[in-house]
Chain A
């Protein structure tokens, strides 16, 4: 059958082996020696000219980390990580403050070109046009259209270029790298850093606290609506460099900010560790929307290589009527261990979690969320869609809890899993803890496969297997797609298609 032939060829073309974003850029980097000890922590802190209290903070975390054990409860399997065999700091040499964009290493720009995602930002980065000018790329499908996106580009560990700063500054929004924030706004950082994810939180978060190299810092002042979507592209580049990002976003009273994070990583044989920490703080009446598209290298078709993604993300709805919304699309990484959570502390606060997790090949995903209801009349909503194919394992692990004082807490959870092929696994592990009688919790989970009827319907209309699967899967995840910013939606639909290629036929 021609359709089958077509599928076979397509699969050949798009083998998981041929990771689209698998390349590495030769840029000279400054590295700290391999391994981890107090001197490395001091080295990182010194490199970044951090204040004394920051060094103490890091050292405290490091000492704490020495006493901790790696968590083993997640449903993921991987060889033990030798934490002494990693580099904890790598900075591109050209980082001595490129004052103008021309000074940016051309190879860096080429990297962005290969990434294929931030085309218009790349124009901006390269100085081809200025903000506000029409772009030739405006017609490009799947690009950012006319939306404004501010990019804080994280290349390996140091922020190289930050754009849109002026416009943001006009609104009073601070958007910079966290090292810069430590120089310019130390009091602000000190007030909030580690208050959502304390240095003692968990093994990877503690490690991150000790050695984090950079990340983004956002502060939105009172009653301000951030004029544009903020965006960071993470990129792991240098061989054997653990990437330890630290992001801190503070939305002051009555403000609103939407933050986008997208990731790709080059192909690599050796497993790479990524242990990021993201902290969000929403004060009274503030809202933070945090969206992630994660598409790191998932390993080859035999499950070799790939990124280990052990991330701690947590939002604190500290003020009344505040809202934090997590949206994530997880298609990459060999291992994902990630639970973006909300602490609903303020009365009437609201937490949301929308997730699409696609696993193929030998990927292992253990992801979910925690909704901790502490305040009165807090509400939360969880929509999780897991799709597993190939030999992958996809686990939703979530906690919804209402504490004694969380009168009127409300949660709705829906976790749906879709299985493609009989070598994969889909698991659901929800914890639902109601300590307050007036808390109303509803949890619903289903697992199913694409029905023959659905496939037949699509095929009868002339679609081949792969198109049909892509269409059905995109329908399956629609509830979540709707919550992605426009900029990500088209890209995500394509990504899901690519991730699932080779899983049928």
Chain B
């Protein structure tokens, strides 16, 4: 490894390597897990942080943007009560009837979390404790390094993961209430946190998982969070994410989703803040007749940089996939959308579509979009659309002519714009909560 470390040059890269060497002994896990961590760090040492010459990172130069890497938080964090958590979530999300799991500064707060509702219907534990003696299903998923070697962010996650949620839902079990994983950051000094969730739904199981990242912390938190999701035949899952962090925060997220035959996966990501965001979603259709939907809304202001990167791999026939993303960008915010749909030769009868629309509210805002199609099967229906522009003056005039004030009219149009994606969320409470988040963002921005 020492020889390979020489390829790391920037301050942040060296800090990552140095931090890993310092804390690796304290990181949780059995020997096999430590082996994985070492492998992952070697993988990182080979690639380093991706710069803009790496095609997938063309618009988000991580090498240049990360000027330092921070160590995990040391010692005990502040004791939070359930009320603190609910307050941080805001009234709408707090009202959600769900199973709550709370991570404070990257560690599962057992006292605040519901860890026993599954009973015999599967397994649920903190990742830290699961890694000590990883069950086979977890180990298989973690060791699935198919894309890890060239994915520096995922390598760093595997190397440094300190905690998270390990969830397995047994066959034919349907969990009625959503599982809400809350990530709270209380740190007042810069910290680096790596969180890993592994979620496995066995045949015909059903679950809804909501990941929320809303923190009172305004410190420079670098959060690297990865979720590995697998759906066995006939399983169905709603997977949602809400992210509203401070301008000084960095959020690197990777979702890897593997779909077996006849599964139904429905995801939504809402980004309403955060200084630097990279949300990667890798969606693989491995079995026939699976259905996927990945939608989202991102809203950026000040100098925020929000990157959504999707890789959809159709490896099986007769699958349907839909993606709708809406971006609202104000001030000097920059939105990036990269969506690659790949249809392999055997994936005949694929029906895959993506749509991304950027709304620029300010002269200095920027939207870069790269929707890609890579198709090797002939009997397919694939398409993508991408638009960018400002608020339509005609629509504005229509509303103004009906006595609606300029600001309110703008606000209504933006809500309607985001609403086209939001309405794809099935859970009404979550949809309402996100609608409120959009309104809150607008109230803050344009009054």
Contacts and interface: CB of A to CB of B under 8 A. Distances in A.
Interface of A: 73, 404, 417, 419-449
B368 A431 contact: yes
B371 interface: yes
A434 B386 CA distance: 11
A444 B386 CA distance: 7
Contact of A445 (B360, B371, B376, B378): B371
B375 interface: yes
Contacts of B368: 431-434
Nearest to B363: A437
B388 interface: yes
Nearest to B58: A431
Contact of B366 (A422, A425, A434): A434
Given A434-B368, A437-B365, A437-B390, A445 B348 contact: no
Interface residues of B, number: 34
A434 B383 contact: no
Interface string B334-372: 000000000001001000000000101111011111111
A449 B379 contact: yes
- Among B345, B348, B381, B386, which residue has the most Cβ atoms of chain A within 10 A? B386
A434 B370 contact: no
B378 A420 contact: yes
A432 B369 contact: yes
A455 to B, nearest CB: 13
B388 A439 contact: yes
Nearest to B361: A437
B165 to A, nearest CB: 37
Interface of B: 55, 345, 348, 358, 360-363, 365-390
A424 B345 CA distance: 9
Given A434-B360, A437-B365, A443 B371 contact: yes
Chain B's interface: helix, strand, loop or mixed, by majority? Answer: strand
A387 to B, nearest CB: 11
Among all A-B residue pairs, the 4 with the closest Cβ atoms: A437-B360, A419-B378, A440-B389, A428-B373
Chain A's interface: helix, strand, loop or mixed, by majority? Answer: strand
Contact of A440 (B345, B383, B384, B388): B388
Contact of B374 (A427, A434, A439): A427
Contacts of B373: 417, 426-428, 445, 447
Contacts of A427: 372-375
A73 B363 CA distance: 32
A386 B371 CA distance: 17
Given A419-B375, A429-B372, A446-B382, A441 B387 contact: yes
A144 B362 CA distance: 53
A432 B357 CA distance: 11
A442 B389 CA distance: 9
A442 B387 contact: yes
A360 to B, nearest CB: 14
A420 B348 CA distance: 13
Contacts of A441: 386-389
B382 A434 contact: no
Contact of B378 (A422, A433, A444): A422
Contacts of B372: 427-430
Contacts of A429: 370, 372
A263 B199 CA distance: 58
A448 B374 CA distance: 12
A424 B371 contact: no
Contacts of A437: 360-363, 365, 389-390
A434 B378 contact: no
Contacts of B345: 422-423
Contacts of B370: 429-432
Contacts of A447: 373, 375, 380-383
A444 B368 CA distance: 15
B55 A445 contact: no
Contacts of A439: 360, 388-389
Contacts of B366: 433-435
Contacts of B360: 434, 436-437, 439
A439 B374 CA distance: 28
Given A422-B348, A437-B360, A441-B386, A430 B371 contact: yes
